[in-house]
Structure 1
Amino acid sequence: MNRREVLVNAAGEQLEGFLALPDGTGSLVLFAHGSGSSRFSPRNNMVAEQLNDAGIGTLLFDLLTADEHRIDEVTREYRFDIDLLARRLAAAVDWVAHEQTTEKLHFGLFGSSTGAAAALIAAAERPLLVKAVVSRGGRPDLAGSDLPLVKAPTLLIVGGDDTQVIELNEEAAARMVNSPQLQIIPGATHLFEEPGTLEEVVRLAIDWFRLHLS
């Protein structure tokens, strides 16, 4: 396993991240955090570690600069700036596509909360590079007019007790033309804090990425 800290050159900003590449991997999943989270997100780190154990590479990186993150903690203005998040995520896809250690890999995106909308927009803007998308408790509805443009196979995972987000995911899926799969995990709330629910997210994500990034 090759793990290292990286600086992602994304749309003119140097964004800090953790790149993990299991030996012999052919795939890389970029994480799009949401709701003010960062590369230190315990849930996304847990998901990333399990993906690594399954032989899938991961890139956890901050979509916001340190200054933006400090401002967002007070004003919450950046976490809903979907255009900004999507622009930086798409730029990060370009970055890994040109880095020597990752350029030959197949790329997928894993988005949480508002990060799911950024992931879908980035997938729509980079159809030749992004091969699969997974959304965990996401807000795909915030991708708006880009939803019908997404070609990458998309898995939408929502907690069974997260009723409002289920409705938003159903509405978003109805606007997509790539036949997205909506997977509802019984007994799970928005953050998948209930025993075994995040593990189920991981299992579904691994299966999805193995299928579409092989």
Structure 2
Amino acid sequence: MKKEMLKSRNGYEIPCLHTLTGNERKAVLVIHGFGSSKGSPTAMMLTEALPQQGIGTLAFDFPAHGDSPVDGLKLTIENCLDDLASAEARIRELAPDAEIGYFGSSFGAYTVLNYLAERQPAGRKAFLRSAAVEMPKLFRHKTEAEQRQLEEEGYVIVDRDYLRPLKLTQAFFDDLDAHDVFRLYRAGLADLAMVHGSEDETASPEAARRFAKEFGARLVMIPGGDHSLSHPGMPEEVLRLAAEFFK
């Protein structure tokens, strides 16, 4: 596994990890969830297992996440989409013949859907784990203290067991509202597969079912599964489904 710092389109560096040798016929961009990183358990599981099946991987950190050198002032949806494009371009450099796919978790899945809808993606296959298809709703109900800090300082510090506390600005919240995947996404943009826990306490299972039905995604609902799909046997099932999908 190789570590690199990619140059973003917005003046900062993007930490990434990849397993690419240049000979791959397939490569998967691994896009982490909100408050997580390129080194999440799911990302590490994929970067260890997929290359054994001839599938290269590249994972990167969003602004203000993981080893990113910038804070939440750079955390916007457009910057996240730009960084995804930079990571995709790096795959093109390292493995020019590889067919590109996307594995997105939660906020990463939401970002992938926006990327497919708004940019010119090189890939046409996306696997969505615990997809936060209603991401804009998740931050609309702020505490009184959060709302007061937002009004007085222009940002709020949020820590919901994240790897590092996140500085979230009003511009970020407005950005979320402007990127509603139910409004922006269009059926047929990509081959979509979804896996979701029936007891997901963060990303609504009902919203996942509605999205899959509306846009023709294949959805596997895991009984008793939480948002992280971390119960015994569930990570292995996610890996099995993803490997089958990308093969």
Counterpart of 2:173 in structure 1 is none
* Matching of residue 112 in structure 1 with residue 105 in structure 2: yes
Q: Residue 21 and residue 135 in structure 1: after superposition, are their counterparts in 2 closer, same or farther (change >3 A)?
A: same
Computed over aligned residues only, the root mean square deviation of the Cα atoms, in angstroms, reads 2.4
Counterpart of 1:205 in structure 2 is 242
Q: Residue 84 and residue 170 in structure 1: after superposition, are their counterparts in 2 closer, same or farther (change >3 A)?
A: farther
Counterpart of 2:168 in structure 1 is none
Residue from 164, 180, 185 that aligns with 1:147: 185
- Residues in 2 aligned to 1:108 and 1:55: alpha-carbon distance in whole angstroms: 13
Matched residue count: 197
Indicate if the aligned counterparts of 1:147 and 1:172 stay in contact, CA closer than 8 A: no
Q: Which runs of 5+ in 2 are unaligned?
A: 136-179
Indicate if the aligned counterparts of 2:23 and 2:95 stay in contact, CA closer than 8 A: no
Indicate if the aligned counterparts of 1:109 and 1:134 stay in contact, CA closer than 8 A: yes
- Residues in 1 aligned to 2:242 and 2:45: alpha-carbon distance in whole angstroms: 12
Matches within 5 A, 1:144-183: 144=181, 145-148=183-186, 151-162=189-200, 165-176=204-215, 179-183=216-220
- Higher mean displacement: 31-40 or 21-30: 21-30
Q: Residue 165 and residue 159 in structure 1: after superposition, are their counterparts in 2 closer, same or farther (change >3 A)?
A: same
Letter in 1 for 2:86: A
- Residues in 1 aligned to 2:39 and 2:121: alpha-carbon distance in whole angstroms: 29
- Higher mean displacement: 40-49 or 123-132: 123-132
Compute the displacement of 1:119 (Å): 0.9
Letter in 1 for 2:240: R
Compute the displacement of 1:123 (Å): 2.3
Counterpart of 1:29 in structure 2 is 28
Compute the displacement of 1:126 (Å): 4.7
Indicate if the aligned counterparts of 1:127 and 1:152 stay in contact, CA closer than 8 A: no
Q: Which runs of 5+ in 1 are unaligned?
A: none
* Matching of residue 187 in structure 1 with residue 224 in structure 2: yes
Matches within 5 A, 1:2-151: 3-12=1-10, 13-21=12-20, 24-64=23-63, 66-68=68-70, 71-72=71-72, 78=75, 81-97=76-92, 99=93, 101-126=94-119, 129-142=122-135, 143-144=180-181, 145-148=183-186, 151=189
Compute the displacement of 1:89 (Å): 1.0
Q: Which entry has the higher C-alpha Rg, 1 or 2?
A: 2
Indicate if the aligned counterparts of 1:33 and 1:111 stay in contact, CA closer than 8 A: yes
- Residues in 2 aligned to 1:124 and 1:83: alpha-carbon distance in whole angstroms: 13
SS of aligned partner of 1:148: coil
Letter in 2 for 1:85: C
Letter in 2 for 1:9: K
Letter in 1 for 2:124: K
Indicate if the aligned counterparts of 1:82 and 1:114 stay in contact, CA closer than 8 A: no
Compute the displacement of 1:174 (Å): 3.9
Indicate if the aligned counterparts of 2:13 and 2:69 stay in contact, CA closer than 8 A: no
